C-alpha cells in the first residue's frame, strides 16, 4: 500500500476562516449616490479583494462576519451586501458604528463565522412613539429583510414612515448571535423605555340629572280621576296622603328615531309655518265636558 504523506503539504486544506482588518467608514462616506438601502439594514460593503479571498476558502454560505473593535473588545455580526468598496476599507450603517463605538477610519477586525438560525428574539423600543405603529410585528418583519444577523445587546435602527426607531435586542435564541435569513422566528416586545402603565379607573355610572319623563308635555284632554271627592254627610274629608288624587300621568317617554337615510353633510332647517289658531281650537274642542251624556231609567214605565 502506498502512502502519500506529502499530499497535504502539496495541496493544503483551505478551510481556515477569513480573518483580516480594515478601516471602517459609515455609508455616508461611500462614493456615488446615497445608499439608504445600506443605512436601513444590517449588512456591510467590502472591497473586491475580500471576495477573491473568500472564494478560495471553504466559507459557509450565506457569508456572515463577526466585526470586532479590539480597542474596547466589543463585537457584532453582519452580512455582506456588495464587494465594491475601496481596497482596505469597509462601509457599514451608522447605527452599527455607534454600537461598536467607532469613528471614521478606525481599524476593525473582520472574521467569517457560522452562527445558528434564529428561533426567538425579544426587542425593546427606545421610545414610546413606537406604540403609535398599528402593527409593529409586521413593520419589524419587513425591516428585518435588510438584515442578516442579530446580536444580543445590539441597538438596531429601523425606518418606518420617514421616522427612525431604535430597538434594543434583549434576547436571541438559540444563541447570543443568530442569523435571520430564511427562518421562522418568534418575536416579542418589551415595554418601551419611559413607558408607564396607565391606571385603570372604574367608570362610575353618573345618575341622570333630568328625568326624561319631565321632558314630556303635559297631558291634554280628558284625564281620569282628576276631580275632587265630597262626602254625602257634609263632613270634611280627612287630609290623608292615601286619599289624595293621583297626579296627572305624563305620556310615556319615547326616544327619537334618527333618519338613517339622511345624506352626509346636508343640513335641513324646518322653516314651515304652523297654524297655531287651528291647533288651539282643536285642543279646546277636545276638552272634557261634564254631564253631557244621556240618562237611562232602570225601571220600565207601565202603560
Residues 6+ apart with CB under 8 A from 193: 124, 125, 126, 127, 128
pLDDT in tens, 68-115: 999 999 999 999 999 999 999 999 999 999 999 999 999 999 999 999
DSSP symbols for 229-268 = ---TT-PPPP--GGGSPPPPPPPPP-PPPP-TTPPTT---
User: For residue 294, what pLDDT is reported?
Assistant: 77
Q: Check whether the bond before 61 is cis (ω within 30° of 0).
A: no
Q: What is the mean pLDDT of residues 55-68?
A: 88
Delimit the domains of the chain by residue range: 19-112, 120-189
User: Is the pLDDT at 5 greater than 80, yes or no?
Assistant: no
What CATH number is given for 120-189 in this structure?
Answer: 3.10.330.10
User: For residue 195, what pLDDT is reported?
Assistant: 87
pLDDT in tens, 207-262: 666 666 666 666 666 767 777 777 777 777 666 555 554 555 555 656 666 777 77
pLDDT band at residue 8, thresholds of 50, 70 and 90?
very low
Q: Supply φ then ψ for residue 120, to 5 degrees.
A: -155, 145
User: For residue 13, what pLDDT is reported?
Assistant: 47
The span from the CA of 58 to the CA of 60, in Å, is 6
Query: How far, rounded to the nearest angstrom, does the alpha carbon of residue 156 sit from its chain's CA centroid?
Result: 21
Max avg pLDDT among 61-65, 159-163, 166-170, 240-244: 166-170
**Do 187 and 139 form a contact (C-beta atoms < 8 A)?**
no
- Cα 29–33–39 angle (5° rounding)? 60
Q: Which CATH superfamily is domain 19-112 in?
A: Ubiquitin fusion degradation protein UFD1, N-terminal domain (2.40.40.50)
Amino acid at each position: 500500500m502506498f502512502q502519500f504523506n506529502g499530499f497535504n503539504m502539496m495541496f493544503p486544506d483551505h478551510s481556515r476562516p477569513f480573518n483580516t482588518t480594515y478601516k471602517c467608514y459609515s455609508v455616508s462616506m461611500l462614493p456615488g449616490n446615497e445608499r439608504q438601502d445600506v443605512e436601513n439594514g444590517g449588512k456591510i460593503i467590502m472591497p473586491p479583494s475580500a471576495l477573491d479571498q473568500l472564494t478560495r476558502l471553504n466559507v459557509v454560505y450565506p457569508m456572515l462576519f463577526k466585526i470586532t473593535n479590539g480597542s474596547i473588545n466589543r463585537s457584532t455580526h453582519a452580512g455582506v451586501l456588495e464587494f465594491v468598496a475601496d481596497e482596505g476599507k469597509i462601509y457599514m450603517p451608522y447605527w452599527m458604528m455607534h454600537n461598536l463605538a467607532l469613528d471614521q477610519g478606525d481599524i476593525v477586525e473582520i472574521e467569517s463565522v457560522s452562527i445558528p438560525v434564529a428561533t426567538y428574539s425579544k426587542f425593546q423600543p427606545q421610545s414610546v412613539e413606537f406604540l403609535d405603529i398599528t402593527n409593529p410585528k409586521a413593520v419589524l418583519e419587513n425591516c428585518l429583510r435588510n438584515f442578516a444577523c442579530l446580536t444580543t445587546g445590539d441597538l438596531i435602527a429601523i425606518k418606518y414612515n420617514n421616522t427612525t426607531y431604535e430597538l434594543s435586542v434583549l434576547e436571541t435564541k438559540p444563541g447570543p448571535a443568530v442569523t435571520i435569513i430564511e427562518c421562522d422566528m418568534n418575536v416579542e416586545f418589551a415595554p418601551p423605555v419611559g413607558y408607564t402603565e396607565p391606571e385603570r379607573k372604574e367608570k362610575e355610572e353618573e345618575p341622570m340629572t333630568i328625568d326624561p319623563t319631565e321632558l314630556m308635555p303635559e297631558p291634554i284632554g280628558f284625564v281620569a280621576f282628576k276631580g275632587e271627592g265630597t262626602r254625602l254627610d257634609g263632613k270634611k274629608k280627612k287630609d290623608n296622603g292615601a286619599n289624595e288624587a293621583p297626579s296627572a300621568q305624563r305620556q310615556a317617554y319615547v326616544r327619537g328615531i334618527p333618519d338613517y337615510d339622511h345624506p352626509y353633510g346636508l343640513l335641513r332647517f324646518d322653516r314651515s309655518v304652523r297654524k297655531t289658531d287651528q291647533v288651539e281650537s282643536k285642543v279646546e274642542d277636545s276638552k272634557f265636558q261634564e254631564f253631557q251624556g244621556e240618562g237611562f231609567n232602570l225601571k220600565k214605565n207601565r202603560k
